[in-house]
Amino acid sequence: MALKGTLKDFGIADILQLIGQQQKTGVLTLKHRSDSVDVTFKDGNICRAETTSRNRKELIGSMLVAASLVTEQQLEFALDTQKRTLQRLGDVLVGQGVITADKFKSMVQLQTSETLFKLFGWKAGTYEFEQKDVETENTLTPLRAESVLMEGFRRVDEWPVVRKRITSLQMTFDKLKDLPPAELEKDDFDAALDDAFADAKEEKKSVNKGEFQSVGENERRCYNLIAPGRTAQRIIELSALGEFETAKALCNLINLEYARGVPPAGKGGDDFETDSRVSVVLGVVGRIAVTMVVVGVLLFVGTRIDFGAVNLGRSNATTYTDPAAQRFASRQQMSRVSAAIDVYKLEKGVLPLNLTELVDANLLTADDLRFPWRDPYFYRRAEDGTYVLLPPLR
C-alpha cells in the first residue's frame, strides 16, 4: 500500500483510520520541522510510537528519573550495562531489581501514548507508510487505531476547559480541604440510580456532576502530590499519568474546591507544550465556525428542497473507485449533517441525542446518515453543548 503525502492534504486522523481499517503492518513516519515520529503498526494496531529526534526529557530513562522511579546513578549503571550486553534498557533495570516489569511497561505505554496524542496538534508536515514486517515487544500493549482516534479527539475537545484552570506548568497549588474517603464515594451503579430517579432536571444536574466534576483515582493521586512550591510540571512527572490527564485531574480538584491554583510570580513559567497547537486548532475551528454559520443557512435551505425530483446520481459507496472522491463527498455530506444538527438545536433547544432524531424531525433521510459510506457517521453529544461528528470508523 503506497501511502505518502502531506498532512495538509491528509490529516493524522485519516491516516490512522485508513491503516487501522485495512489492518496493515509496517511503519508510519511523520515529520514536522525538526521533529520526526515513527509509529509501528501490527495488523492495524499501534505497537509503538517514538520520536527519532527525541528530546532528552522524552527518553524513557529520563522519564523514569523524573518520576522518581529510578535514580540518576541507577540509570547510568543500567546504561553502561546495556552497552556491554546489548540488552534492552527495560530488561537491564528489571534484572537488576531497580524497577518491576509492570511498572516499566506502564511507563513505556505512557511514553507511547504521549507521543501519539501530540501528533493531533500537527497541522503541517509529511507522512510516509512503509509496509513491512515489524518486531513487537512485550513491553507495550497494542493500541487500536480507533481507540487512539477517539481519545485524541476527546483531548482536543477538553483541553480548552482544562487550560482555563491550569494556565502554566509553573503554577503551584494549595490544599483547601481533605478528600472524602474513597469507600464513601458513589460507584457508577449508584450514580445511575440517582440519575434515573431524579425528579427534576436541576436535581439531576446536581447529582450527576459530569466529567470535570468528580473525584477519581487520578484526582487522588494528584492531590497526594500537591506540596508547597511543587509546580504543575513536577506533579506531571511524579504522577506518571501524562500531561493531559494530570492537568485534567488538577482542574477537577480546583473545580471541586479541594485545591487552589497559585499562578507563578511575574509573567513567568513555561506554558504547556500543547499551548501553541491548541491555539492553532482553536483558531482554525473559530474560522470554520464563522464560515459554517453562512454555509449552514444555505444548507438549511437545501434541506427543505425536494431533491428527489432531481437525479443527482447519488449511489452507495461501492460506486466510488477513487477514495479521494469518496472523502470529498463525505466532507460535503458532513456539512449537510452539521447544518441539520444546528437547525434541530434551533427548533428543539437541545442537540439531538443521536442522528436518527434528525430523520424523525424530517431534516434528513436515513440515506443521508450513511452517504457515501456503508456505515453511519459517528456522532457524540458532549455535556458542554458541543458535539463530535466523524466519518465512520470501519
Q: Do 31 and 53 form a contact (C-beta atoms < 8 A)?
A: no
Give CA separation, 182 vs 142, 214, 217, 260, 315, in Å: 31, 12, 9, 21, 55
In a domain, 152, yes or no: yes
Which tops the pLDDT comparison, 137 or 119?
119
Residue type, 138: N
pLDDT at residue 262, rounded to an integer: 94
pLDDT in tens, 256-310: 999 999 999 875 545 555 444 444 444 444 444 444 544 454 454 444 434 343 3
pLDDT at residue 285, rounded to an integer: 45
**Nearest CA-CA partner of 36 in 169, 126, 99, 97:** 126
Q: Report the alpha-carbon distance of residue 177 to residue 160 in Å, rounded.
A: 26
Q: Report the alpha-carbon distance of residue 18 to residue 46 in Å, rounded.
A: 13
155 and 22 assigned to the same domain: yes
Question: Pick from 159, 180, 211: which residue ends a domain?
Answer: 159
Task: Determine what percent of the chain is predicted with pLDDT higher than 70.
Answer: 74
- The answer on pLDDT for 55 being more than 80 is no
148 and 283 assigned to the same domain: no
**Nearest CA-CA partner of 111 in 163, 173, 166, 62:** 62
pLDDT at residue 382, rounded to an integer: 81
* Residue 65: φ, ψ to 5°: -70, -45
In a domain, 49, yes or no: yes
Which domain does 371 fall in, by range? 275-390
Which tops the pLDDT comparison, 105 or 184?
105
pLDDT at residue 190, rounded to an integer: 53
Stretch 104-111: mean pLDDT: 89
pLDDT in tens, 221-255: 999 999 999 999 999 999 999 999 999 999 999 99
Cis peptide before 372 (omega within 30 of 0): yes
pLDDT in tens, 180-204: 887 654 454 455 445 544 443 444 3
- The answer on pLDDT for 316 being more than 70 is no
In a domain, 208, yes or no: no
The H or E element spanning position 174 is strand 172-175
pLDDT at residue 244, rounded to an integer: 93
In a domain, 187, yes or no: no
**Nearest CA-CA partner of 332 in 357, 347, 314, 354:** 314
In a domain, 185, yes or no: no
Which tops the pLDDT comparison, 158 or 300?
158
In a domain, 199, yes or no: no
Compute the half-sphere exposure of residue 244: CA atoms within 13 Å on the CB side of its CA: 22
- The answer on pLDDT for 26 being more than 70 is yes
Q: Report the alpha-carbon distance of residue 117 to residue 69 in Å, rounded.
A: 24
Which tops the pLDDT comparison, 282 or 96?
96
pLDDT in tens, 350-387: 899 999 999 998 888 888 888 887 888 888 888 777 88
Question: Pick from 97, 125, 159: which residue ends a domain?
Answer: 159
Q: Do 338 and 390 form a contact (C-beta atoms < 8 A)?
A: no
The H or E element spanning position 242 is none
In a domain, 176, yes or no: no
pLDDT in tens, 70-79: 999 999 999 9
292 and 147 assigned to the same domain: no
Parallel, antiparallel, or unpaired: how do β-strands 172-175 and 259-262 relate? antiparallel
Q: Give this prediction's pTM.
A: 0.60
pLDDT at residue 206, rounded to an integer: 38
The count of residues in the chain is: 394
Question: Pick from 105, 140, 159: which residue ends a domain?
Answer: 159
Q: What is the DSSP letter of 366?
A: G
154 and 7 assigned to the same domain: yes
pLDDT at residue 363, rounded to an integer: 86
How many domains in the chain?
2
pLDDT at residue 351, rounded to an integer: 92
pLDDT at residue 249, rounded to an integer: 94
- The answer on pLDDT for 394 being more than 70 is no
Q: What are 337's three cell numbers? A: 449533517
**Nearest CA-CA partner of 139 in 73, 94, 180, 190:** 94
Q: What is the DSSP letter of 178?
A: P
pLDDT at residue 219, rounded to an integer: 94
**What interhelical angle do 243-255 and 145-163 show, nearest 10?**
40
pLDDT at residue 252, rounded to an integer: 94
pLDDT at residue 279, rounded to an integer: 44
In a domain, 105, yes or no: yes
**How would DSSP label each residue in 17-65?**
HHHHHTT--EEEEEEETTEEEEEEEETTEEEEEEETT--GGGSHHHHHH
